[in-house]
Chain A
Amino acid sequence: MQEALHTALSKVCKVETHPGIMQIYRYDFLTIPKRLSRFIKNPICVVQPKNDEEVMKILEISERFNIPIIPRGSGTTGYGGCVPLKESIVVDMKHMSNYSFQNDSVVAESGAIWWEVEKSARKQGKSLRVYPSSATVSTVGGWIAQNGYGIGSLKYGSIGDNVEWLEVADFNGFKIVKGEKLKYYIGAFGTTGIIIRACLRLRENTGIRCESFQCSFEDAIKKIEGGYHANFKDGRYMQLENAGDRDTLLVTYEGEGESSELGKRLWEKRLYPLRALTADRIYSEAIVPYEKAVEFYRRTRGLSIGVEVVFARDSVIFLGLFGRGLKPYLKALKFVKIAEELGGSVYTTGLLFPHKNKFKRDFQDYKRKVDPNNLLNPKKGSFENAFSRIMKIGERFLWVV
């Protein structure tokens, strides 16, 4: 059957089947312990469509052969969103990377790189409202598929809050998704359709003024009002980044004005994240309501080895760093559990946390309608898998830490 599949796909676009290359497309940023890697499957092949027609033909072939498809951007998410759990066709969207501007918005194809879009927007006197700290490499479709928070989230919220509409493809063709229905696609990891293009709201490129403070988290949270972007790193995190040992807050504001030296330096480093992460550390992320953020910060300080915080419009995003091994893994899970106890949630679902999807039932019902054969990135988003079951087991042992 694989030969027939290959023949069919070859008529549509270039098909990659080299066994070494399939190993690369098994992974994204998520580090999977060796013992668990047996739950991951090698893709059957990787295809790189260049236009809508090719995407549609790939979907037809997927349906005809009953082989799942995994949409993939740059593979820079740490949630396993594009890790195949079944033998699948990986649809690498990087060749669909065009974009065009219309007044206060940009329509970008899924494979467009955020920073490329931003650079072009600036030439029009505009700017993206939010973009990921991995903007130099990550794709529009990928970040929407995980509903990320990033630069600009203090004023403008998550990327999901800034999507006007999405054009998605599923087995019934293409459709424009707007309003209420966007919730089935934003943060859904391509489980309900392949994001083809997105219309994103822009802001005026007014320039950015940067301020920084060396202050406690409790003080930091009081200093961010009226900001465009703000992030905080505790002294331990700063040490791990070799950037000093003081609790440090960066707040930036839209508009021209005098910036502080440290503020400018921190702002310039915004696109070079993860400096505290090494191969022997893991991280965990949680979303916490503002009114509980200080309590969360205090309760989790003993768990992590360093904390970075991104302040968003309606909530606070915490990233905790942990060592490697069973206990640190449990601490990372407890980090999320405490957030949940305080009315917060896990950052996103992906491969690890589909059981934590708040709209699980509603989402599953919708998925069954648009993807009755469960071929679109199966076992992710809201459907459980071996990894989420292991996470659930781990959650029973949080008393250990």
Chain B
Amino acid sequence: MGGVSIWDCIKCGLCNICPVFRAEKLESVSPRGRLILLKEIKKGSIKLDVRIVKDIYKCSVCGICSVVCPANLDLVKLWEEIREKLVERKIAPLPRHKKAGDITYRDFNPYGGDQQKRSEWLDFSVGKSKTLYFAGCTASFKSHNIAKSTAKALKNLGVEFTVLGPQEFCCGSPFLRTGQKDLARMLFKKNIRVWQKEGIEEIITSCPGCYKTIKEDYPKFAKETKIDFNIEVKHVSTVFSELMTKEGNLDLVATYHDPCHLGRHMGIYEEPRQVIRKAGVKLIEMERNRNFALCCGAGGGLRTQFKEIAIAIAEERIREALETGANLIITSCPFCEYNLSRVGGSRIKVLDLSEIAERTVSP
């Protein structure tokens, strides 16, 4: 299993902090339980079957298990490698992950959105630039507010950027996380071809999933396929944090939800908080924050295949947010915003960081 050995698990069970396990309460979905299953499969004492495959996929790949693991196992890497092997052996993907893959093979985004309308959210014109704002599929097709606010804020901050519209394709993150590496590789090739043609040197993403994929996984694909990859990749929270000099006076009291792919996976915790503070928002932390933050429940293909678990986890996060007394959650991920706002309903408002930045830097 690559660089992570399942035999290094000491079975302490501290990973039972896993939000999926907390929702399901059956030990086959806890990281320790899954590792025991994998060991027993290796030993030949049990056979891999649909039930076990499903339990392996009952995980948002949030990475809290790795944070608490005394043996320092890189479990995120392990879960992704295992899923990849399951797909190679044609035991996976699960039906809804496969459906998302099939749609993406056809439409180049998992929502089945019309690629020609991919940048329909853009309400001003942009020229050619070496800096690309890569909105990602969720902001392009589901959460236009995020793409619009990001673009406006970047413009107001003096960033000259371009948008590729129909020539922007899914980055492949949902497929890397669910083991469908071939599809992710195909999307890498499509994107990189366009970026090379357009002379892109810098990419700014709204989505932490895109950020991780383009920053960490694309260089690996590039190496594999002997393509040069010299593009600087930034998450929009870093750009805002660097460029926002004006102090805002937004009269808001908010809590911040750390997206797993931005925080635990990529180590970006402080930049979004700096933006929030600069905006003049009173920030109240939830008890679980930064590397101990609770996942929103949506990632790693969890919401796609096991919506009820994703909702249960988001419900727990909403409860934590409400306990702070804030009436607003700010996050920095379109997928977290999507899941939390749907579960939170009228109880608490959910905004993306870009919406805060836009309000702060608007002339």
**B-binding residues in A (CB < 8 A):** 16, 18-21, 23-25, 27-31, 46, 48, 74-76, 92, 94-95, 119, 134, 136-138, 272-279
Contacts and interface: CB of A to CB of B under 8 A. Distances in A.
Given A19-B46, A20-B52, A136-B68, A279 B28 contact: no
B70 A274 contact: yes
Interface string B45-62: 110010110000000000
B12 A274 contact: yes
B13 A74 contact: yes
Contacts of A95: 25
Interface residues of B, number: 30
Contacts of A275: 70
A249 B147 CA distance: 52
Interface string B178-198: 000000000000000000000
Contacts of B10: 29, 31, 274, 277-279
B68 to A, nearest CB: 6
Interface of B: 7-17, 25-28, 32-33, 36-37, 40-41, 45-46, 49, 51-52, 68, 70-71, 287
A278 B37 contact: no
A24 B13 contact: no
A249 to B, nearest CB: 21
A74 B14 CA distance: 9
B12 A277 contact: yes
B73 to A, nearest CB: 10
B11 A28 contact: yes
A20 B40 contact: yes
Nearest to B15: A137
Contacts of B16: 74, 76, 137
B37 A76 contact: no
Contacts of A20: 28, 37, 40-41, 46, 49, 51-52
A28 B40 CA distance: 15
Given A18-B28, A23-B36, A76 B12 contact: yes
Given A18-B28, A136-B68, A279-B71, A23 B40 contact: yes
A353 to B, nearest CB: 19
Contacts of B32: 24
Given A274-B10, A277-B71, A279-B8, 16 more contacts: A18-B52, A20-B28, A21-B28, A23-B45, A25-B27, A29-B13, A30-B11, A31-B10, A75-B13, A92-B27, A137-B16, A138-B13, A278-B10, A279-B7, A279-B10, A279-B71
